[in-house]
Amino acid sequence: MAESLTHVELCQFLEAHAPFLAAMGIWCEESRPGYAVARWKQDPRWIRPGGYLCGGGLMTLADAALYMAILREIGLKAMAVTSELKMNFLRPAVGGDVLARARLLKVGRRLAFGEIHVLMADGGERLVAHATSSYALPDAEASPPGPAGSTGTA
């Protein structure tokens, strides 16, 4: 467990190693070992006809939230990568920001498994989507690569 890792350190790591999240308007709102909440700010670029947020963006949000929860559990290991993601869309995401609440269910030597609840940020508890995901974990001695276009580690 990476209890000494702070929320601020996680956010700085994500800025360096996953800059596409900020470009999409996704950030980590809350985190602790094994748990994270990611927020996706509503933006007209991601709206489909009918005012629905696009499903691919919701999947990215869910995937990012679980990555955040995993990093808070195992430490800053960039090469923890998605090996499987399944999402059930339960109702449209319409009218505001969206939250993804991720929690780890199992962390092994090579794999981590978790679930993600996706809901509107307006305070309602009705699920927009439910996802489960597995991550392949790097070997303990593997060092993470630096951000895209750099050499060495960050």
Over residues 64-93, the pLDDT tens digits come to: 999 999 999 999 988 999 999 999 999 999
Examine the pLDDT at 97 and tell me if it is beyond 50. Answer: yes
Q: Kindly state the helix (H) or strand (E) to which residue 21 belongs, with its residue range.
A: helix 19-24
74 lies in which domain range? 7-136
Count of structural domains, the chain: 1
Let me know if residue 58 belongs to a domain: yes
Q: Is residue 51 part of a domain?
A: yes
Tokens of 29: 């709102």
- The answer as to whether 29 is a domain residue is yes
Residue 19 maps to a domain:
yes
Instruction: Provide the residue type at 108 as one letter.
Output: G
What is the mean pLDDT of the segment spanning 48-57? 89
The enclosing domain of 47 has a CATH number of 3.10.129.10
Contact 62, 100 (CB under 8 A): yes
Q: How far apart are CA 16 and CA 144, in angstroms?
A: 12
pTM of the model: 0.87
Query: Does residue 121 contact residue 98 with C-beta atoms inside 8 Å?
Result: yes
Q: What pLDDT does 148 receive? A: 52
Q: Is residue 111 part of a domain?
A: yes
Span 52-75, mean pLDDT?
94
AA letter at 14: L
Confidence of residue 153 (pLDDT cuts 50, 70, 90): very low
Has residue 154 been placed in a domain? no
CA angle 102, 105, 93 (to 5 degrees): 30
Distance CA 77, CA 139 (A): 10
Pairing of strands 81-89, 35-40: unpaired
Note whether 36 and 30 are within 8 A (CB): yes
